[in-house]
Structure 1
Amino acid sequence: MTYQEKLNEIRNQMKADNVQAYIIPSADPHISEYLPHHYKCIPFTSGFKGSAGTLVITHDHAGLWTDFRYFEQAADELKDSGFELMKQKVQHAPEYIQWLIEKLGKGATVAADDKLLSVLLGDLLTQQFSAKGISLTSKDYLSPIWENRPALPTEKAFLIEDKHIGQSVKSKLEQVRAALQKQGAAYHLVSSLDDMAWLFNIRGKDVSYNPVVLSFALINQDQATLFVDRNKLTTEEKETLLKSGVEILPYEQVAQAISNIPENSSIFIDPKRNCFAFYKLVPASVRIIKDTNPSTNLKAVKNETELSNTRTAMLKDGVAITRFLKWLSEHIGKITITELSAAAELRKFREQQEGFVGDSFTTISAYKAHGALPHYGASEESNVEVKAEGLFLVDSGGQYFYGTTDITRTIPMGNNTEEESTDYTLVLKGMIDGCKVRFPKGTCGYQIDAITRKPLWDYAINYGHGTGHGVGYFLNVHEGPQTFNPTATPVAIELGMITSVEPGVYRPGKHGIRIENLVNTIQDISNEFNEFYAFEALTIAPINTKIVKKELLEQSQIDWLNSYNALTFEKLSPMLNAEEAEWLKAETKAI
């Protein structure tokens, strides 16, 4: 079926049900960012492969709502699909709701598969539509037309020993139960896959890049039930979980368990990370408490074992990055190097590192104008040769058995313009300020975001994505609750949180620049004014200084840059051969 034929079939079903609009979000019943192939509904329906977006279909219009990161990609991928790009002003904002309200009349019906709606979104749609006399109903119009739909993954899962995590499953459950008691909740439903992985010290291969397992949990003060495909675990692993107080039931039985929660009881549900369908299964007499999963907050604060192991992973990753940068500098102009072949070479260097499991996301290997697309993914169709001129942006990361990495370096390839040099220096200024900031306890991410942006704002330059995101421990490369972005999210940056710092400049048709390090929040000083925190540099890899305009940097920024590159040489050189160490010494020379 062509995309247009699929669109016609969906509209036929809508007409039969007297439905005026159909919403398809990018989600699964776990409200995941990265989806199993079974739930890649937007690529199936429209051809758009970006990781954020919403399709809205009416009888006379079909649109994809997505943010600026995907405008060019979407415009290209939606050609001849019957879908029109609807440019979102704010990341992740459901701006299509107001569009539907204005387009549809009173008495209209909007449908969506409520297994793909978060509780938060389901409530929002219900409230805003009902206020205008529009009803919301649950329909799945894709399954009837999706021939050979990929099955749910059956890959084996595995448990990580407590000693490699630094905390036992039993201890984690005790922490969650203590949080439930404070909230006055008898039960707790967990659907988000990274929370599940953290809580049960379990990892798997059910989703690309994220080592998670399709599963749910229902927890009370006496029992923890893990709903998972039992074939994913060995008999020994099931016994290990049982000894930790975890009962295992089939994945499909979670819906029945929710329906059977005792009357007049209470349940704790994270509205952002549970699906609307399960929320509606909770018996009417059960009191629902909505808040962030306790495990989300607990998981964000890494313990000493996790931090120590992550530092090891960062060094291994730094060796791979250094060897890649050296290879690139020595081979550019001598052999044909493309965006795809460069990404493949980087992957090879990572594969040589002990404990490497796979990439933590699709490598963004973006040369010249492609760098202006923040989430660009090179394909056979878009792939271009990287030459000895302009800027080459590489954003990549690795999953190791002892940590998750995420690093961006923008590489001057030669013959760089004044504009490129200025933009590069301004991004570097912002990144340095974000990394070297001292801040009082209680500071939130939007304050760090503003500090990082100021060097760019001074030149009337801005970027449309967040400055930083939380990073998991051998888990999702994007995790909350902390985030560095302009939204006034009231989440304080706590000790032991791992977060990225990644400002950028994007000039359409010209170039993109982003420089990214991961940092760990550490204690700085305490005085009569407050307890102050700072950031420890976790990412250890050289920052190129060839086109830096030193006159644009303050002395404190120069000192930080020289100190960071010196630290990189000190940490990595013992892990390199003599030739590699000599190259790195020159690359990290003080300016």
Structure 2
Amino acid sequence: MTDSPRLPPADRLRALRDELARRGHGGFVVPRADEHQGEYVPPNAERLAWLSGFTGSAGAAVVLADRAAVFVDGRYTLQAAAEVDTALFEIVHTTDVSVEQWLTEHLPAGTALAYDPWLHTPNGVARLRRAVEKAGGTLVATDGNPLDAAWADRPGPPLAPVVPHPQAFAGKAAADKLAEVAAALRKDKADAVVLTTPDSIAWLLNVRGADVPCAPFPLGYAVVHAEGPRVDLFMDGRKVAQETRDHLGAAVTLREPGDLPAALDALGAAKATVRLDAGVAPDAVRARLEAAGATVQRADDPCALPKAAKNPVELDGTRAAHRRDGAALVRFLAWFAAEAPKGGLDELTVSDELERFRATGDLFRGLSFPTIAGAGPNGAIVHYRVTPATSRKVEAGQLFLLDSGAQYLDGTTDVTRTLSVGAAGPEERRRFTLVLKGHIALATAVFPDGTTGSQLDVLARMPLWQDGVDYDHGTGHGVGSYLSVHEGPQRISKIGNAIALKPGMILSNEPGYYKTGAYGIRLENLVAVERREVAGAERTMYGFETLTLAPFDRLLIEPALLTDDEVAWIDTYHRRVLDTLAPLLAGEPEVQRWLAEACRPLALG
């Protein structure tokens, strides 16, 4: 994100309102997303942060002539309160009031509410339009973003190199993936699909990049034609060296991003049926296709499910990545256990040290998201991001929540452990153990083919519900293969999801508990869906293979709250962690001794 110290927040808001007034608009919607609906966006797309100061990875703002609001979910309520000037913006919790509900209540009748059609999906625009019309206003697509016009020192677009992703890691040739996607299009009687999500393009063409933080893909668009098959790839040519052009091959035509509108017009002129994922594509693409005469077939991105169900090479890669990542994490945990009691650590130091341990590993390519390192009350901020201004000391008697992950050429990791610094109180031990019970319940679930993550979510929450508490985030998200750490379409959440879990899908298992102003607890492993043989089964059954390898803090476990089966699961998991990682720590006897103690069976006391 580019900060503008010369332009205070109030002046930024005023500059946007002046630009809206010049264009005749009475309000404007500012989403966190970029033109690709990405979680991580390049500096020139950090519009919400530039305007409001909120730096979370999900949210929105609405600016009207006389009031403005920032909308965040339960992960970010505390963060928004710390970052946003509430004299300028009202902070709205979307669990209670959605953007659409707020507009229905607060948009003055007759107001022209503007939106940038490149930053909203067709589905999102439909929801906005219903709310605006209910309030008696009109929804207007802008020609050019008015916030960009007000952002005087906005950075230029990213130009990180696009590189081939070897088949040794991808597991399948790009030509084979393209043939399968084209066959799916022909089956659905579509002539083409417009791909707008960069991870789908990176997966399909076996390329990677670095246009956004933490996610190794290049930004661009692609039109996949069913016949041929062939691809028009819209990507800045300055990013694509000859080696990558050779890798892409004759089936891929590289074109500049500015050529996309003309290509959409050509599809319309040909009266083509064009598939478009209305949940992720820009509404501008839909509007251009329809205006040009194309038939828009609203359907899911054809790359989403094949990308989510990892092939055997990708699964072997992620297992290898987790072994190396586990060894790095154990080295860090042994260091933390020795240093934290001395009282000289703070959150920034801990976060930097963990990255240093990971960076020495083979195939490391960076973090998969900014490390969440929360001491004491900062651990209660679900997606807390430490800064020099917020970094707390690590003190005795506190809990320390550490959520981190890395990108490796062969896989993506994401792991959370909650650590004790000295003795923990009975409340903290009880809540930690309840979170662990929920984690185990999900890890050991066996379920029939056709089951969705939403149907399993209750397993992780039940021990907490029985204690009268809950958490305000999803229990699990999909994870890519050296791609996005948050990957759909599968998830484990209270929110309904129609995507059935299939073998090869990787998800997180991360229940938690957060006490505002005191502490946070989250325990996260990544798991892969696998076939499960059940004696006498009349249906195809699945379960989870746990991929993450790192001990849970034994000092925080209250064995009296665990069943015999739960104790056995923890001891078996810890034995696997020890057996797998100890050989990777040869020559590091102190770390090996720490690991052996951390994995000592609970059954032995």
TM-score by length of 1: 0.97
Q: 1:197 & 1:475 partners in 2: Cα distance?
A: 8
- CA gap 1:265/1:132 in 2 versus in 1, 3 angstroms: farther
Residue equivalent to 1:309: 317
SS of the residue 1:561 aligns to: helix
Residue equivalent to 2:4: none
SS of the residue 1:496 aligns to: coil
Q: What does residue range 9-408 of structure 1 map to in structure 2 within 5 Å?
A: 9-79=15-85, 82-89=88-95, 95-130=98-133, 132-139=135-142, 140-221=145-226, 222=228, 223-243=230-250, 245-261=251-267, 262-284=269-291, 285-334=293-342, 336-408=344-416
SS of the residue 1:11 aligns to: helix
Q: What's the offset of the Cα at 1:290?
A: 1.0
- CA gap 1:9/1:77 in 2 versus in 1, 3 angstroms: same
CA contact (8 A) 2:52 2:85 kept: no
Q: 2:157 & 2:570 partners in 1: Cα distance?
A: 47
The one-letter amino acid of 2:132's match is: F
Q: 2:512 & 2:32 partners in 1: Cα distance?
A: 26
CA contact (8 A) 1:4 1:81 kept: no
Q: What's the offset of the Cα at 1:288?
A: 1.0
SS of the residue 1:564 aligns to: helix
Q: What's the offset of the Cα at 1:528?
A: 4.4
Q: 1:358 & 1:248 partners in 2: Cα distance?
A: 28
Structure 1 counterpart of 2:595, from 584, 588, 591: 584
CA contact (8 A) 2:371 2:385 kept: yes
SS of the residue 2:341 aligns to: coil
SS of the residue 1:376 aligns to: coil
Point out where structure 1 has 5 or more consecutive residues left out of the alignment.
Answer: none
Q: 2:531 & 2:345 partners in 1: Cα distance?
A: 44
Q: Which moved more, 1:400-409 or 1:529-538?
A: 529-538
CA contact (8 A) 1:337 1:385 kept: yes
Q: What's the offset of the Cα at 1:81?
A: 6.4
Residue equivalent to 2:455: 447
The one-letter amino acid of 2:46's match is: K
Deviation string 1:58-90 (CA, Å, 9 cap, x unpaired) is 111011011122112111211266122122216
Q: What's the offset of the Cα at 1:523?
A: 0.9
Q: 2:94 & 2:108 partners in 1: Cα distance?
A: 23
CA contact (8 A) 1:441 1:531 kept: yes
CA contact (8 A) 1:162 1:168 kept: yes
Q: 1:385 & 1:335 partners in 2: Cα distance?
A: 8
Q: What's the offset of the Cα at 1:132?
A: 5.0
Q: 2:532 & 2:497 partners in 1: Cα distance?
A: 24
Q: 1:178 & 1:320 partners in 2: Cα distance?
A: 43
Residue equivalent to 1:459: 467
The one-letter amino acid of 2:208's match is: R
Q: What's the offset of the Cα at 1:289?
A: 1.1
The one-letter amino acid of 2:45's match is: Y
Q: Which moved more, 1:334-343 or 1:283-292?
A: 283-292
Give percent identity, aligned residues only: 34
Q: What's the offset of the Cα at 1:153?
A: 0.6
CA contact (8 A) 2:277 2:299 kept: yes
Q: Which moved more, 1:350-359 or 1:64-73?
A: 64-73
Q: 2:317 & 2:167 partners in 1: Cα distance?
A: 13
CA contact (8 A) 2:341 2:422 kept: no
Residue equivalent to 1:416: 424
Q: Which moved more, 1:64-73 or 1:302-311?
A: 64-73
Structure 1 counterpart of 2:530, from 509, 516, 522: 522
Residue equivalent to 1:575: 584
Deviation string 1:134-192 (CA, Å, 9 cap, x unpaired) is 22112321122212211101111101122321101111111111211222211100010
SS of the residue 2:30 aligns to: strand
The one-letter amino acid of 1:137's match is: V
SS of the residue 1:448 aligns to: helix
CA contact (8 A) 1:466 1:485 kept: yes
SS of the residue 2:232 aligns to: strand
Q: 1:198 & 1:62 partners in 2: Cα distance?
A: 39
Q: What's the offset of the Cα at 1:237?
A: 1.7
The one-letter amino acid of 1:224's match is: V
- CA gap 1:80/1:462 in 2 versus in 1, 3 angstroms: closer
The one-letter amino acid of 1:496's match is: G
Q: 1:384 & 1:25 partners in 2: Cα distance?
A: 31
SS of the residue 1:414 aligns to: coil
Q: What's the offset of the Cα at 1:390?
A: 1.8
Q: 2:213 & 2:247 partners in 1: Cα distance?
A: 26
- CA gap 1:106/1:258 in 2 versus in 1, 3 angstroms: same
SS of the residue 1:33 aligns to: coil
CA contact (8 A) 2:341 2:421 kept: no
CA contact (8 A) 1:259 1:283 kept: no
2:558 matches 1:549: yes
Q: Which moved more, 1:398-407 or 1:109-118?
A: 109-118
Q: Which moved more, 1:73-82 or 1:479-488?
A: 73-82
The one-letter amino acid of 1:416's match is: A
Q: Which moved more, 1:558-567 or 1:19-28?
A: 19-28
- Alignment size in residue pairs: 587
The one-letter amino acid of 2:175's match is: K
Q: What does residue range 525-544 of structure 1 map to in structure 2 within 5 Å?
A: 525=533, 527-544=536-553
Q: 1:72 & 1:528 partners in 2: Cα distance?
A: 47
SS of the residue 2:125 aligns to: helix
2:499 matches 1:487: no
The one-letter amino acid of 1:179's match is: A
CA contact (8 A) 1:449 1:467 kept: yes
2:483 matches 1:472: no
Q: 1:237 & 1:481 partners in 2: Cα distance?
A: 29
Q: 1:104 & 1:318 partners in 2: Cα distance?
A: 51
Q: What's the offset of the Cα at 1:107?
A: 3.0
Q: 1:255 & 1:30 partners in 2: Cα distance?
A: 16
Q: CA RMSD in A?
A: 1.4
Deviation string 1:504-528 (CA, Å, 9 cap, x unpaired) is 0001111100000000111111544
Q: 2:419 & 2:348 partners in 1: Cα distance?
A: 16
TM-score by length of 2: 0.95
CA contact (8 A) 2:551 2:574 kept: yes
Point out where structure 2 has 5 or more consecutive residues left out of the alignment.
Answer: 1-6
The one-letter amino acid of 2:204's match is: L
SS of the residue 2:498 aligns to: coil
Residue equivalent to 2:507: 499
Q: 2:346 & 2:546 partners in 1: Cα distance?
A: 31
Q: Which moved more, 1:353-362 or 1:255-264?
A: 255-264
